[in-house]
């Protein structure tokens, strides 16, 4: 199978850079259902642009390329040991070429392996079957949506929707609650796979298996087909919307599977996936390792209809209160007076230098000085994909990461260093909101997953600190121009995220009564 390694490299590149046709159609349906002149509508337009840009540039759709997970079915006699070695080599090459971000981190030391290899990474599941071809499926599921996976043990009392029993209606309540709890932190509008039954491990595995189904297929189990249709119709009534901005489109796909369970256990496991639904598969000729077929429709077959100019004109002519926010250009460093003038809904365009900072940096800054002056600065919750050549470092992908992880640190760090703006996705909690009021700061929500859209706004890498944390966690100093994000938490105590969460909780309560 001398061509198997090259085939795996091609599979990785295609999965990372080019959303398949069924996913693109789902995103296009979402855009058609959303008012283009709202925040959610503008977010979907940005998403569509980003999908096209990633395909054209052959660069990661989202900078978080997740934990590569391979599901492989092989005929009897296939050498799985050699296949695994070839996959490792392909992963190393794809990481070196900037198609995968180095994401394999030692759980005890925090050290990044730098090549996506390490104990347990990548994830490779082999299973024999009676067919002659090798079937390889790959999913790249980022940490932001992975963190919104959830598992229920029935019976249970669920916030907002009441008692969930060990029946189809209890399962319905679990799934509705799973969509609600994700809010915008999993980069909605998203897709969910649901596993009913099994134990804690096999239930989650079944849920993830559902994500390999085609978006437009029909569940062969009549009751599960009805439940999938119900969830698709009603989850979008929660009003969470794209990026948690509010709106009509919260869920783009729901797939449900069931397996037997122990009498004492009744698990409902939900695997949440962001709009950047990166999964692909190939059939391999065992004698050569060559790809004979791709298992999901090529993305290039489905146009994204991304038209930023049309969206902008719709916003200008809109009567919606939601889009009446101003567009404000800010040059760093930023003053407190400039920040105090901003309100939720304003669009801020950043020029100048900003600095990336994620989990490792926030923890470090709690007890240490910063390597540079951060007074008036902008911190970007981002772990970029970076490449280095003879001219220096270059940004290949740079969308925002989920901000809520930094909630234990953010308020203290804002005040300690004089930081004026934080950019991320999904919003932050009450501690940060209070600090924004007291200190004079603002939270700006960028569009999650739009790694190519934002990378083009970065004109130069001015430097880097803390490379010992690994590329994603290092503190990159980036010169930007035209970097736009929406004010969703201001210095006056207003939080769009808190408002949407409360509103969706009220709507969730409407689904308490039995349906099945």
Per-residue pLDDT reduced to its tens digit, 117-127: 999 999 999 99
| pLDDT tens, position by position, 108-155 | 999 999 999 999 999 999 999 999 999 999 999 999 999 999 999 999
With a cut of 80, say whether residue 333 has pLDDT above it.
yes
Give the H/E segment covering residue 94.
Answer: helix 80-96
The pLDDT assigned to 172 comes to 98
Separation of CA 172 from chain center: 24
Average pLDDT over residues 293-304: 92
Q: Are 438 and 412 in contact (CB under 8 A)?
A: no
Q: Are 124 and 89 in contact (CB under 8 A)?
A: no
| pLDDT tens, position by position, 440-469 | 999 999 999 999 999 999 999 999 999 999
Contacts of 301 (CB under 8 A, 6+ apart): 21
Which residue from 454, 453, 494, 499 is spatially nearest to 346, judged by alpha carbons? 494
The pLDDT assigned to 325 comes to 66
Alpha-carbon dihedral sign for residues 124, 125, 128, 134: negative
Q: Is 477 exposed, middle or buried (0-12, 13-18, 19+ CB in 10 A)?
A: middle
3-state SS of 170-209 is HHHHHHHHHHHHHCCCCCCCEEEEEEECCCHHHHHHHHHH
| pLDDT tens, position by position, 190-249 | 999 999 999 999 999 999 999 999 999 999 999 999 999 999 999 999 999 999 999 999
Separation of CA 7 from chain center: 26
To the nearest whole number, what is the mean pLDDT of the chain? 95
The pLDDT assigned to 323 comes to 55
The pLDDT assigned to 324 comes to 54
The full set of domain ranges for the chain reads 1-139+279-323, 143-273, 325-500
Using CA atoms, how far apart are residues 344 and 490, in angstroms rounded to an integer? 6
- Retrieve residue 275's tokens: 């709009």
The pLDDT assigned to 420 comes to 98
Using CA atoms, how far apart are residues 470 and 439, in angstroms rounded to an integer? 31
Q: How many residues in the chain?
A: 516
Average pLDDT over residues 92-104: 98
The pLDDT assigned to 321 comes to 52
DSSP 58: T
| Model pTM score | 0.94
Residue 161: pLDDT band (50, 70, 90) is very high
Q: Are 382 and 399 in contact (CB under 8 A)?
A: yes
With a cut of 90, say whether residue 317 has pLDDT above it.
no
| pLDDT tens, position by position, 53-83 | 999 999 999 999 999 999 999 999 999 999 9
The pLDDT assigned to 442 comes to 98
Using CA atoms, how far apart are residues 103 and 108, in angstroms rounded to an integer? 15
Q: From 3.90.78.10, 3.40.50.620, 3.20.130.10, 3.40.47.10, which CATH number describes the 325-500 domain?
A: 3.20.130.10
With a cut of 90, say whether residue 320 has pLDDT above it.
no
Alpha-carbon dihedral sign for residues 154, 155, 158, 164: positive
Q: Are 241 and 249 in contact (CB under 8 A)?
A: yes
Contacts of 445 (CB under 8 A, 6+ apart): 184, 243, 245, 400, 423, 424, 425, 426, 427, 485, 486, 487, 488, 496
The pLDDT assigned to 307 comes to 56
Average pLDDT over residues 352-364: 97
């Amino acid at each position: 199978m001398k061509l198997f390694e090259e085939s795996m490299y091609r599979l990785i590149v295609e999965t990372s850079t080019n959303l398949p046709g069924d996913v693109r159609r789902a995103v296009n349906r979402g855009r058609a259902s959303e008012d283009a002149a709202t925040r959610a509508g503008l977010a979907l337009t940005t998403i569509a642009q980003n999908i096209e840009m990633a395909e054209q540039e052959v660069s990661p759709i989202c900078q978080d390329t997740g934990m590569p997970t391979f599901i492989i079915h092989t005929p009897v006699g296939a050498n799985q040991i050699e296949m695994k070695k070839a996959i490792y080599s392909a992963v190393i090459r794809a990481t070196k070429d900037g198609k995968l971000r180095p994401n394999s981190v030692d759980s005890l030391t925090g050290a990044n392996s730098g090549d996506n290899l390490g104990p347990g990474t990548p994830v490779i599941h082999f299973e024999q079957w009676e067919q002659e071809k090798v079937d390889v499926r790959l999913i790249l599921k980022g940490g932001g949506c992975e963190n919104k996976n959830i598992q229920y043990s029935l019976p249970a009392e669920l916030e907002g929707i009441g008692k969930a029993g060990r029946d189809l209606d209890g399962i319905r309540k679990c799934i509705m609650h799973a969509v609600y709890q994700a809010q915008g932190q999993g980069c909605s509008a998203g897709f969910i796979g649901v596993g009913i039954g099994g134990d804690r491990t096999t239930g989650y595995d079944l849920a993830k298996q559902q994500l390999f189904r085609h978006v437009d297929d029909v569940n062969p189990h009549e009751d599960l087909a009805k439940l999938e249709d119900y969830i698709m119709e009603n989850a979008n009534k929660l009003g969470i919307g794209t990026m948690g901005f509010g709106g009509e489109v919260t869920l783009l796909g729901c797939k449900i599977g069931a397996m037997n369970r122990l009498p004492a256990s009744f698990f409902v496991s939900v695997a949440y996936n962001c709009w950047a639904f990166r999964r692909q598969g190939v059939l391999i000729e065992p004698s050569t390792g060559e790809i004979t077929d791709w298992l999901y429709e090529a993305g290039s077959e489905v146009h994204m209809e991304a038209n930023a100019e049309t969206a902008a004109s719709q916003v200008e002519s809109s009567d919606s209160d939601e889009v009446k926010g101003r567009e404000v250009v800010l040059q760093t460093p930023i003053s407190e007076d400039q920040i105090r003038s901003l309100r939720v809904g304003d669009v801020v365009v950043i020029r100048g230098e900003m600095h990336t900072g994620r989990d490792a940096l926030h923890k470090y800054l709690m007890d240490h000085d910063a390597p540079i002056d951060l007074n008036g600065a902008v911190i970007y919750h981002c772990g970029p994909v970076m490449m280095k050549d003879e001219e220096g470092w270059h940004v290949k992908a740079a969308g925002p990461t989920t901000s809520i992880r930094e909630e234990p640190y953010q308020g203290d760090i804002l005040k300690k260093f004089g930081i004026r703006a934080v950019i991320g996705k999904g919003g932050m909690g009450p501690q940060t909101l209070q600090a924004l009021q007291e200190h004079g700061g603002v939270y700006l929500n960028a569009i999650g997953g739009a790694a190519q859209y934002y990378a083009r706004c970065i004109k130069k890498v001015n430097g880097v600190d803390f490379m010992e944390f690994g590329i994603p966690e290092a503190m990159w100093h980036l010169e930007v121009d035209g970097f736009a994000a929406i004010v969703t938490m201001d210095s006056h105590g207003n939080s769009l995220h808190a408002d949407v969460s409360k509103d969706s909780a009220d709507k969730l309560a409407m689904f308490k009564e039995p349906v099945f």
